[in-house]
Structure 1
Amino acid sequence: MNSSDWMPDVSHPWTRFALVIIIALVVAGLIHRVSDALLRRLALRHPMGASIVAKANTPLEAIVPLVMVLLAFRVAPDEPARLIDGLEHLLGVGLIGACTWFLVRCIGAVEATVSRFNPIDLEDNLRARRLQTQSRVLARTGMVVTVVLGIGVALMTFPAVRQFGASLLASAGIAGIAVGLAAKPVLGNLIAGIQIALTQPIRIDDVVIVEGEWGKVEEITSTYVVVKIWDERRMIVPLQYFIETPFQNWTRTSSQILGSVLLWFDYGLPLEPLRGELERICKGASEWDGRVMVMQVVDSNDKGMQIRALVSSSNSGKSFDLRCKVREGLIAFVRRESPAYLPRLRGDLESQVRGVEAAPVPFTAKRSGRVYGQG
């Protein structure tokens, strides 16, 4: 058998086209292999670069062959290129999608690197929470914008869509108003996300009071915030809420906080021993940070006086535990040392014969006195 019988006819357009595609794929593989090795070597000294290379490697495996195949279409013979023009357009749309995927993965890699090098599981995590909040909100916003732009560019490659867009521009006034009203919630949350990232009224792991509920900011997305309530429920709050509605942020500038304990006692209770007991409780509690320890009489009425113990802690969680310890310790101290000065209710009672109602006596013989009953 002659070797010319099985050798392909390179003069045929389709054969030349197939050879061009094969060469393009081989070159694409070599380019990807070499570029991947160079990028990994350059990223050894840069943690963010290493994260980007690791996350963007998969999209690059699609981008490089698509680019080379599209270049092969440009240099291919005219006859096959005309026959598979639809395939070229499909590959172009795929390239747009791969580039969008690549940009989204790069943005995610930057966010992951910032979060990894700024952990929030520390005692003083204010800077880390600020950086994580900025990176997370801006990354989510950037991903949304990138995906929307990628879809828009891909759609504009279709002639029918371009004509439809031109017809829409003719009635841009009414259409713009309608689209603006329809997209108001989306755009409002998008702008609110940028505001939160820049001004930071809230951050990741902030302690907030929202709708009367105490909780921590667990997650900030491009449209809503997840607040983890103390009993492990989750409250989903739109981003615009934190721009338009007042709320409490207990860790805006620092996690340190003052906690108060209010107790009612009788006027006869000596205060100095009680202050000494408060000092003993605080010094024995690991939750007390040593900044503030004050006891004052802050209110009074016809039944007794109200005492406030003011103590400080490094964060709100420790403050709650310390307040409970102080409340329990002071009550136990008064019950043990001065039980007569616990809150009582006063009443007037007339003398009665044991088991039998006493006979009426003249008013001057009546004896009125003050007795106490446990409140």
Structure 2
Amino acid sequence: MPWLLISLLAAVTATLAVGWIVDQALQRTAARHPAAPVWPLLRRCRIPLQLTVVSALLIAAKPLQRVFHLKRGDGAQHLLLLFLLASLGWLTVRVVAAVLEALLSRYETRIEDPARVQRVHTQISMLRRVVSALIVVVTVAVMLLTFSAMRAIGASLLASAGIIGIVAGIAAQSTLGNFFAGLQIAFGDTVRIGDIVVVDGQQGTVEEITLTYLVVRLWDQRRLIVPVSYFVSRPFENWTRRDPGLLAAVLLHLDHTTPVDELRTALRACLDRHPLWDGTEWALQVTDTTPSTIVVRATMTARTPDDAAQLRFDIREQLIAHLRDEHPHALPRLRTTDG
């Protein structure tokens, strides 16, 4: 009995020691290579690694088998084997996620183009989800194959795999369509995480892309959940696909006596003082007339859609204030005549 207790304590000590040694090795490696982000990320794998080690020791060590009354083919050993397989799957998912996140972090530090960074971010996020799902499926399949009943019906399942595949494909047509649409979005560069899009007349920012749906954060913080198949089968607006900059426009309905040249000068002065104008383009033009007013359009560029919206609001307010203070007759008014 003392030897059995000693063996159990030795297994626990070995498990903790392995976790500590691996963690210390990763810390020292990260200190020697601070530019490589993969080593700090791999420290997240400590718990699944320790679970894998302890379950492997319980299965392999004969003294420990006697402690837990483990015999070949009994339920306890089978349960421990399932636990080992699940731990291995968890460990593999963590390692793959750490490697992919490290690749993304390294890419972000080397590339200054935000459009390319967003594209790679979307692709790596989608790749991580696909690989994780594949690892889970394989792990579950291996765990099921440890049951003798599942091995016995394996031949019949393989024989009818064609029919089952056809039936499953018809039943899951919508799910498979969304899955392949998600891959097409990730690697076709039609929409990326962080893009400003307009879906069914609603503007928002792409917040998350999964294998089956896409999350758009609207201007009022609501979340619009859209199937990914929507973005490969229907038209939508992507304001930041190539360049996040945007042209903002302000329409003013003014009186025919408005001094357009002076208003144009006032617009340039307002833009020079405004921090959101990127200094690329601006214009003020009379685009239309009506029997009672003229339509003046002021255009200006900004770095992002959010900046363009705020710039549009501020310039409209400043131009109206300028006309109210300097040329009140330029504001539209309703004229009436007697007789």
Same fold, TM-score > 0.5, yes or no: yes
> Residues of 1 paired with 2:157 and 2:204: CA distance?
47
> Residues of 2 paired with 1:276 and 1:25: CA distance?
79
Residues 267 and 164 (structure 1), Cα distance of their counterparts in 2 relative to 1, 3 Å cut: same
For the Cα contact (< 8 Å) 1:193–1:223, is it kept in 2?
A: yes
Match in the other structure for 1:328: 317
SS of the equivalent of 1:349 reads coil
Match in the other structure for 1:42: 29
2:238 to 249, 259, 267: 249
Larger Rg: 1
Match in the other structure for 2:50: 61
Deviation of 1:19 after TM superposition, in Å, equals 9.1
Q: Does 1:300 align with 2:289?
A: yes
TM-score, L = length of structure 2: 0.84
> Residues of 2 paired with 1:294 and 1:154: CA distance?
68
> Residues of 2 paired with 1:157 and 1:218: CA distance?
41
Give the total of aligned pairs.
333
Counting only pairs closer than 5 Å after superposition, residues 53-202 of structure 1 correspond to structure 2 as 53-72=42-61, 85-113=74-102, 125-202=114-191
Q: Higher relative contact order at CA 8 Å, sep ≥6: structure 1 or structure 2?
A: 2
Match in the other structure for 1:262: 251
SS of the equivalent of 1:321 reads helix
For the Cα contact (< 8 Å) 1:192–1:240, is it kept in 2?
A: yes
> Residues of 1 paired with 2:160 and 2:184: CA distance?
32
Residues 92 and 294 (structure 1), Cα distance of their counterparts in 2 relative to 1, 3 Å cut: same
Residues 118 and 204 (structure 1), Cα distance of their counterparts in 2 relative to 1, 3 Å cut: farther
Q: Where does the alignment leave 5 or more consecutive residues of structure 2 unmatched?
A: none
Q: Does 1:237 align with 2:226?
A: yes
> Residues of 2 paired with 1:170 and 1:277: CA distance?
80
Deviation of 1:201 after TM superposition, in Å, equals 1.9
CA RMSD for the aligned pairs? Answer: 3.4
Q: Where does the alignment leave 5 or more consecutive residues of structure 1 unmatched?
A: 1-5, 9-14, 351-375
> Residues of 1 paired with 2:181 and 2:202: CA distance?
22
> Residues of 1 paired with 2:153 and 2:108: CA distance?
49
For the Cα contact (< 8 Å) 2:27–2:40, is it kept in 1?
A: no
> Residues of 2 paired with 1:196 and 1:181: CA distance?
23
SS of the equivalent of 1:139 reads helix
Deviation of 1:144 after TM superposition, in Å, equals 1.6
TM-score, L = length of structure 1: 0.76
Letter of the 2:187 partner, please give it.
Answer: L
Deviation of 1:312 after TM superposition, in Å, equals 0.8
Match in the other structure for 1:280: 269
Letter of the 2:37 partner, please give it.
Answer: M
> Residues of 1 paired with 2:19 and 2:318: CA distance?
70
For the Cα contact (< 8 Å) 2:23–2:43, is it kept in 1?
A: no
Letter of the 2:150 partner, please give it.
Answer: V
Letter of the 2:305 partner, please give it.
Answer: S
> Residues of 1 paired with 2:102 and 2:49: CA distance?
20
**Identity over aligned pairs, percent:** 37
For the Cα contact (< 8 Å) 1:51–1:110, is it kept in 2?
A: no
For the Cα contact (< 8 Å) 2:26–2:43, is it kept in 1?
A: no
For the Cα contact (< 8 Å) 1:70–1:92, is it kept in 2?
A: yes
For the Cα contact (< 8 Å) 2:15–2:50, is it kept in 1?
A: no
Range with greater deviation from structure 2 (295-304 or 80-89) = 80-89
SS of the equivalent of 2:39 reads helix
Match in the other structure for 1:215: 204
